[in-house]
Amino acid sequence: MASPRHLMKLSAALLLLCVGVCVARNSDFSIVGYSEEDLSSNDRLVELFEKWLAKHQKAYASFEEKLHKFEVFKDNLKHIDKINREVTSYWLGLNEFADLTNVEFKAAYLGLNAAPARRGSSRSFRYEDVSASDLPKSVDWRKKGAVTEVKNQGQCGSCWAFSTVAAVEGINAIVTGNLTALSEQELIDCSVDGNSGCNGGLMDYAFSYIASSGGLHTEEAYPYLMEEGSCGDGKKAESKAVTISGFEDVPANDEQALIKALAHQPVSVAIEASGRHFQFYSGGVFDGPCGAQLDHGVGREGLHQDEEGHQQRRGPLRHQQDGLLPNQGQVMFQPQILHPED
């Protein structure tokens, strides 16, 4: 059983990030799922909606529900087209969430329960004395074999579990040389002290569970169900594959501290993903609305610095909903410190 000594976690409440992607803007409207002609008449909108339904294999319980969803679809398309005409750095598209209101989207897919009482903890930072001159200009833990394939959380508010597992998988691979896919389902079922399964949770509590319970099973031994199950379900504690002894928070609003942490391992990150821009994001460098109401757990898996040591728009972010972000859930983003230290 691997036992990494420390797990570095980026506290969701301490360093606030804006998500972005580094790809060139494409004028081809097939990228965003509609064309100018699709907006020309209601008949074309109906045809577009039917094509979208077929593509995403959507079906509704009644004709009335379908009519309602069509109205939601049209309203979302209006918003998407408006932003695409106004913004040049990124674009929105008709992804699988185009029949959801923003309220429905947040309720179904975002599950981070931030805990203000835990945000001010003053823990030690093990990389505090690392010199900036000793840090690499770039690191991508995917290329170093410390990142598993992107997983899909489905319609379960379990992002906190996926964010936790991504960080543990990463540090375990770095320490042992073995990349092992671990069980998010175990956290959903068993990490109940402060967490609420598919109704949300916090990575802090999940890390504490792993450290105190003897570790996690592999994903193969305890597979993901996209719903809550019974803790253990016949699994033996001695079959757990990986454990940790603890975790640390990256100091608040400290870009250099984040760089130091990322230079040594992947970190667990929280973002605000509830805005309509992010709901329909399809490509480009996201520099749109970005708030501090953290509601989604993800994994940060690398960095790239400029000559002055500032992070550029190239730093892989892992998101566990394939439909939400392009590139099979992998994006590149630019962090933004909302409240920098003096």
Query: Do the domain assignments include residue 154?
Result: yes
What is the pTM (predicted TM-score) of this model?
A: 0.73
Query: Do the domain assignments include residue 198?
Result: yes
Residue 3 CA to residue 186 CA, distance in Å, equals: 18
* Distances 319 to 28, 48, 53 between C-alpha atoms, Å: 25, 28, 24
**DSSP code per residue over 103-142:** HHHHHHH--B---GGGTT-----TTTT--GGGS-SEEETT
Where the chain has pLDDT below 50, the residues are 2, 5-6, 8-29, 117-121, 311-315, 322-332, 337-342
* 26, two tokens: 């494409």
**Strand pairing category for 296-300 and 316-318:** antiparallel
Query: Do the domain assignments include residue 14?
Result: yes
**Strand pairing category for 7-9 and 247-249:** parallel
Query: Do the domain assignments include residue 48?
Result: no
Counting the structural domains of the chain, the total is 1
Query: Do the domain assignments include residue 293?
Result: yes
pLDDT at 292: 66
Query: Do the domain assignments include residue 287?
Result: yes
Residue 148 CA to residue 180 CA, distance in Å, equals: 8
Query: Do the domain assignments include residue 78?
Result: no
Q: What's the pLDDT tens digit per position in 26-36?
A: 344 455 788 88
Query: Do the domain assignments include residue 39?
Result: no
Three-state secondary structure of 39-99: HCCHHHHHHHHHHHHHHCCCCCCCHHHHHHHHHHHHHHHHHHHHHHHHCCCEEECCCCCCC
Beta partners for 112? 201
* 337, two tokens: 């410190």
Give me the CATH number covering residue 267.
Answer: 3.90.70.10
Q: Three-state DSSP class for 305?
A: strand
- Classify the C-alpha dihedral 170-172-178-179 as positive or negative: negative
- Count Cβ atoms within 10 A of the Cβ of residue 61 and give its class: 0-12 exposed, 13-18 middle, 19 or more buried: exposed
Range of the domain at 296: 7-24+108-332
Residue 306 CA to residue 185 CA, distance in Å, equals: 39
pLDDT at 296: 74
